[in-house]
Amino acid sequence: MVTGEVNIHREAIVWLTVRGPGGSKEDFEAILDTGFTGALTLPSDLISTLRLPFRRKGRALLADGSESVFNTYEATVMWDGQPRHISVDAADTDPLLGMALLYNHEVKIQVVIGGAVSIRSLIQA
């Protein structure tokens, strides 16, 4: 199970660990964003620190109708106690956790400041 809490900005956050190919790792908070269909965004400075390998250019249509072009990298995230290889989109904002990583999981949020956030797999091991 992945856990977190609702912060003072009313954002559901969880704590994640991401590893780069050379064994470097970073722990950080990520905001759950159900409007983001990808797995994870990270700021370019964190991508550099982890030395994540570049994979391709990506494009997205944003909520305001504009198009965004970004770089996509590869990383390993510790997810539900297991390493999982994912695509990471570069975005110089707070890290966002999207629907690709949440797929096949149940999300529960107590929507109050300090409320519990839990993400549980729907697939029985």
Give per-residue pLDDT as tens, 28-44: 999 999 999 999 999 99
Q: Note down the domain range covering 35.
A: 13-103
Mean pLDDT score, 94-100: 96
What is the band of 65 on the pLDDT scale with cuts at 50, 70, 90? confident
Residues 6+ apart with CB under 8 A from 109: 6, 12, 32, 115, 116, 117
User: What is the model's pLDDT at position 49?
Assistant: 93
Q: Is 4 part of a structural domain of the chain?
A: no
Residue 60 has pLDDT above 70, yes or no: yes
Q: Which of 28, 30, 27 is nearest to 12 (CA)?
A: 30
Q: Are 76 and 18 in contact (CB under 8 A)?
A: yes
Provide the number of structural domains found in the chain.
1
In a domain, 121, yes or no: no
Asked if the structure places residue 25 within a domain, the reply is yes
Query: CATH no. for residue 37?
Result: 2.40.70.10
Residue 119 lies in a domain: no
Reduced to 3 states, what is the DSSP secondary structure of residue 22?
coil
Residue 53 falls inside a structural domain: yes
pLDDT of 73-83, one tens digit each? 999 999 988 99
Residues 118 and 76: their CA atoms lie apart, in Å, by: 21
